[in-house]
């Protein structure tokens, strides 16, 4: 077991060199293990020596040592903090955003948060012990679904770029990457992601869309992310006092497809999860894209918005497929899936009609007799609408033959 000592704030530290156990777990969770080890730059801490550190956290050894890590949910539990109000009171000051909003508490220490909404979700901390267990799995078995690499469906610039403005949650980036992979949008761009980039949590949420995550690029400013594009549509649910074209997803995709075919590069700009795009950011776009929604509830999840635009892009693409295509599954088209069957020929259908009519005649179905022509015509019309396969016709004739045997003619042992 790794040697651990108590820090000044009852925090478990690796001894030596005195780095916090929680800091190691956090770094390895939010990025790849190799990136975390490089960033931490702790002498002696390598892939070979990392697991005992993780085991200390994963096994909750901190409980018997009466130690806790800042940022871990166990610390707020030990301190008896049950609400956000109690948490704020336990601090000397909470600084929000750029510092113009500050909340004074009655305790010690300062907390910085990008917004109060973020603080309300994260104040109680994370389960570091759970993170440690996930990192151990990565250490032993590699990145989850790392074998699912995938590949772009088109060349560079042949699909619209997806630009996320200051995405707040790595999980949302991962779900956007999955939507991009679903619908062949290969270029993902991130403008100043709050939690940094690359981010392992995004890879996990991408559920195998690894090539989108691996190729995603982060930019410091919106202008940098748009610099090589010729036309950009900005998604918004709010009306803007800007003299720009307003398009539905269908119209915007048609515009982009026409421009891309002429050699131009296009992009779709999506806003922050919390409050979308600022009007100054929308001003950088060439058109507004507004998705038809319920006017009284117009807010969409970020990944949902990307998925809707992606669907419109793929809907008229030559690369589309109805469902998956594997070694054992061929592409499907609209209509009835015939599989290996074939439609019945007219000769086979006529054979069915004549067989059925003959058996009905033998059993006195056509009564009165002068109605036979009309009833037979109705039967043929009804059975023709089935669009039966050759196999279905043979099955139907087998049923007729069996019923025609009459009572008392069941096979022995039935």
How many structural domains compose the chain?
Answer: 4
* Centroid of chain to Cα 266: 23
Whole domain around residue 49: which residue ranges?
Answer: 1-81+124-142
Q: How many residues does the chain have?
A: 414
Residues 232 and 297 in one domain: yes
The predicted structure's pLDDT at residue 185: 92
**133 shares a domain with 33:** yes
pLDDT at 196: 86
Q: Which CATH number belongs to the domain containing residue 224 in this structure?
A: 3.40.1280.10
188: tokens are 């993902």
Nearest CA-CA partner of 105 in 116, 117, 94, 114: 94
What's the distance, CA 169 to chain centroid? 13
Report the pLDDT value the prediction gives residue 86, as an integer from 0 to 100. Answer: 92
- In angstroms, the CA 411 to CA 413 distance is 6
Instruction: DSSP letter for 371, please.
Output: G
Specify the pLDDT at position 8: 73
Judge if 248 and 385 occupy the same domain.
no
**Are residues 118 and 128 located together in one domain of the fold?**
no
Kindly list the averaged pLDDT for each block of 10 residues, start to end, along the chain of length 414: 70 81 88 86 86 89 89 89 91 90 90 86 87 85 58 78 94 94 92 88 85 91 94 93 93 95 95 91 95 88 94 80 59 68 91 92 86 90 90 92 72 54
Question: Do 207 and 310 reside in the same domain of the chain?
Answer: yes
Cα-based torsion angle of the residue sequence 261, 265, 266, 267 in order, rounded to the nearest 10 degrees: 140
Confidence at residue 347, expressed as pLDDT on a 0 to 100 scale: 93
Same domain, 180 and 311: yes
Q: Which of 137, 144, 199 is nearest to 173 (CA)?
A: 199
Instruction: Give the span between the Cα atoms of 256 and 233, in whole angstroms.
Output: 9
The pTM for the full model equals: 0.58
C-alpha–C-alpha distance, residues 266 and 160, integer Å: 5
| 220 plus 298 within the same structural domain | yes
Q: Are residues 135 and 268 in the same domain?
A: no
Residue 36 sits in the same domain as residue 133: yes
**SS3 state of residue 95:** strand
Determine contact, residues 107/89, Cβ cutoff 8 Å.
yes
3-state class (DSSP) for residue 275: coil
167 and 310 both lie in a single domain = yes
Distance between first and last Cα of the chain: 70
45 plus 5 within the same structural domain: yes
Dist CA 252 CA 240 (whole Å): 17
Residue 1: predicted pLDDT? 46
The two tokens of residue 299 are: 């807010």
My answer on whether 99 and 6 are in the same domain is no
């Amino acid at each position: 077991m790794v040697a651990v000592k108590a820090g000044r704030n009852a925090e478990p530290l690796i001894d030596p060199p005195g780095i916090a156990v929680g800091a190691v777990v956090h770094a390895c969770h939010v990025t790849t293990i190799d990136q975390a080890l490089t960033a931490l730059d702790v002498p002696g801490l390598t892939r070979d020596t990392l697991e005992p550190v993780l085991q200390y956290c994963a096994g909750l050894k901190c409980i018997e040592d009466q130690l806790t890590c800042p940022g871990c949910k166990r610390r707020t539990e030990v301190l008896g903090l049950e609400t956000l109000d109690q948490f704020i009171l336990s601090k000397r000051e909470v600084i929000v955003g750029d510092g113009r909003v500050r909340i004074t508490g009655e305790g010690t220490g300062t907390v910085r948060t990008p917004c109060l909404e973020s603080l309300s979700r994260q104040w109680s901390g994370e389960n570091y012990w759970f993170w440690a267990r996930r990192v151990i799995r990565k250490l032993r078995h590699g990145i989850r679904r790392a074998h699912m690499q995938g590949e772009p469906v088109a060349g560079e610039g042949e699909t619209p770029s997806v630009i996320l403005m200051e995405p707040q949650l790595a999980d949302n980036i991962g779900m956007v990457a999955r939507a991009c992979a679903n619908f062949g949008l290969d270029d993902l761009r991130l403008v100043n992601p709050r939690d940094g980039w690359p981010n392992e949590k995004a890879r996990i949420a991408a559920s195998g869309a690894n090539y989108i995550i691996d190729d995603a690029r982060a930019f410091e400013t919106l202008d940098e992310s748009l610099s090589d594009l010729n036309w950009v549509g900005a998604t918004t649910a709010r009306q803007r006092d800007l003299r720009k074209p307003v398009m539905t997803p269908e119209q915007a995709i048609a515009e982009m497809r026409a421009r891309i075919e002429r050699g131009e590069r296009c992009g779709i700009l999506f806003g922050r999860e919390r409050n979308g795009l600022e009007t100054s950011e929308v001003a950088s776009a060439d058109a507004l894209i507004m998705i038809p929604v319920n006017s009284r509830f117009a807010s969409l999840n970020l990944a949902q918005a990307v998925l809707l635009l992606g669907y419109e892009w793929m809907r008229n693409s030559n690369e589309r497929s109805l469902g998956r295509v594997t070694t054992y599954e061929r592409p499907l088209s609209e209509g009835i899936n015939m599989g290996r069957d074939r439609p019945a020929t007219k000769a086979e259908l006529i054979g069915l009609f004549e067989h059925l009519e003959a058996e009905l005649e033998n059993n006195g179905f056509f009564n009165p007799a002068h109605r036979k022509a009309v009833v037979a015509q109705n039967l043929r019309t009804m059975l023709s609408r089935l669009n039966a396969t050759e196999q279905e016709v043979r099955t139907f004739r087998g049923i007729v033959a069996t019923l025609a045997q009459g009572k008392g003619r069941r096979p022995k042992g039935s």
